[in-house]
């Protein structure tokens, strides 16, 4: 039975049925509408929806959760919703079991159809796992449809495979690591650190400024950039946090010492995975190492809740290996439309020649097709 694809390129087309399908097919909370819809709202000035809903009869069996961005070299670039400063990981095409190949080949045919080639110039998919079967199927399908698909290594993710019990995890650590765990948890048990979990939207609103301040202090102390200075990021993350809290996926902790906030831990979790997304810490409290205490608590909670993975997400920070995290390789997948303008943009990207100089050279940038 042939599949039908519907392009959703305006927010008003995101009907209740489409949102239900997005959440039903989402492989993890970062691809639920609470996260992706918040991203679209916050960054609507720089990205517009470009979701492909794949139908079998009247049922959506696949969603390509994409947006369209206008870039200097790539032109109209298809990217995942959640890309960029949000650094969403493990992005993929959401598809029901047994339909991966059918859905990805249908999407490839749609993208390369003559009537759709003029809608986009480039496709750049970032934040995807190297072993993602669905994206690898899509790359194969695009190649077979005649597109030159480029693939390169992305920044790795790191995740801790969780054993069945907390004692088993502790035994995996070195002697010094076990001592570190005992000392870290003792700070919570004896009240040196008071750990509060945010449970309501009212609490979230009340304590949000503390979280942002702690994150900024940590980044300023490390001499690195602060994502909350990026336009729209604060709006996005707070909106996503409130929606994920209401749906039961947000895991948000603040740690206090002498009634002063010293550490924050922002995670998103389902029944299988605890995904540590962001943190903050007061450098003045670094001698207490409150981040270690919160990490020990949340890893223990994850194990005791039956989760299988503690995901530390993207970035190769050295501390992750101390927690027995394993590397998860990622990739970037890139291709260009067959339209004449898109092919010129492809050459610009490969050679480094500026788009402005190509225009000056007199090469036509019309709408010719190849």
pLDDT in tens, 129-177: 999 999 999 999 999 999 999 999 999 999 999 999 999 999 999 999 9
Share of the chain above pLDDT 90, in %: 85
pLDDT at 235: 97
pLDDT at 72: 86
The residue to which tokens 């102390």 are assigned: 221
CB 275 within 8 A of CB 313: yes
pLDDT at 368: 31
Name the residue among 288, 257, 253 with its Cα closest to residue 274. Answer: 253
Q: pTM, whole model, 2 decimals?
A: 0.91
pLDDT at 340: 60
Which runs of consecutive H residues, i.e. helices, occur in the chain? Answer: 16-25, 33-42, 100-112, 133-144, 166-172, 175-189, 201-222, 233-246, 290-304, 319-322, 340-351, 355-361
Strands 273-281, 260-269: pairing is antiparallel
Residues of the chain with CATH 3.40.630.30: 4-154+331-361, 163-307
222: CB partners within 8 A, 6+ apart: none
The per-residue pLDDT for range 170-212, each reduced to its tens digit, is: 999 999 999 999 999 999 999 999 999 999 999 999 999 999 9
What is the C-alpha separation between 75 and 344, in angstroms, rounded?
10
Given CATH 3.40.190.10, say whether it is the number of domain 163-307. Answer: no
Instruction: Summarize the confidence of residues 12-25 as an average pLDDT.
Output: 97
pLDDT at 370: 29
CB 320 within 8 A of CB 314: no
CATH class of domain segment(s) 4-154+331-361: alpha beta
Which neighbouring-strand residues pair with 256?
194, 261
pLDDT at 287: 94
217: CB partners within 8 A, 6+ apart: 280, 281, 282, 283
């Amino acid at each position: 039975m042939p599949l039908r694809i519907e392009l959703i390129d305006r927010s008003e087309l995101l009907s209740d049925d489409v949102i239900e399908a997005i959440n039903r097919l989402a492989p993890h909370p970062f691809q639920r509408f609470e996260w992706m819809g918040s991203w679209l709202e916050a960054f609507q000035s720089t990205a517009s929806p470009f979701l492909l809903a794949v139908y079998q009869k009247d049922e959506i069996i696949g969603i390509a959760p994409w947006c369209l961005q206008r870039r200097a070299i790539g032109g109209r670039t298809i990217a995942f919703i959640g890309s960029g400063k949000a650094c969403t990981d493990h992005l993929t095409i959401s598809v029901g079991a047994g339909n991966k190949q059918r859905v990805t080949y249908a999407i490839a045919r749609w993208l390369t159809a003559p009537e759709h080639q003029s809608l986009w110039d480039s496709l750049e998919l970032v934040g995807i796992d190297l072993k993602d079967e669905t994206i690898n199927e899509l790359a194969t399908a695009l190649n077979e449809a005649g597109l030159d698909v480029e693939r390169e290594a992305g920044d790795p993710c790191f995740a801790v495979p969780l054993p069945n019990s907390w004692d088993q995890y502790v035994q995996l650590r070195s002697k010094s690591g076990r001592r570190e765990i005992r000392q870290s948890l003792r700070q919570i048990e004896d009240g040196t650190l008071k750990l509060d979990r945010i449970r309501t939207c009212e609490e979230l609103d009340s304590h949000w400024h503390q979280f942002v301040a702690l994150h900024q202090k940590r980044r300023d102390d490390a001499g690195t950039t602060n994502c909350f200075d990026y336009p729209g990021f604060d709006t996005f993350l707070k909106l996503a946090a409130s929606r994920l809290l209401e749906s039961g996926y947000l895991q948000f902790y603040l740690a206090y010492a002498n009634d002063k906030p010293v550490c924050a831990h922002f995670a998103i979790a389902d029944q299988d995975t605890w995904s540590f997304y962001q943190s903050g810490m007061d450098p003045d409290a670094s001698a207490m190492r409150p981040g270690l205490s919160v990490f020990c608590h949340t890893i223990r909670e994850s194990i005791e809740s039956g989760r299988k993975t503690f995901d530390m997400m993207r970035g190769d920070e050295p501390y992750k290996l101390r927690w027995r995290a394993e590397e998860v390789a990622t990739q970037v997948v890139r291709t260009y439309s067959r339209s004449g303008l898109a092919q010129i943009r492809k050459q610009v990207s490969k050679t480094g020649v500026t788009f402005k100089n190509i225009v000056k050279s007199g090469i036509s940038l019309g709408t010719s097709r190849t």
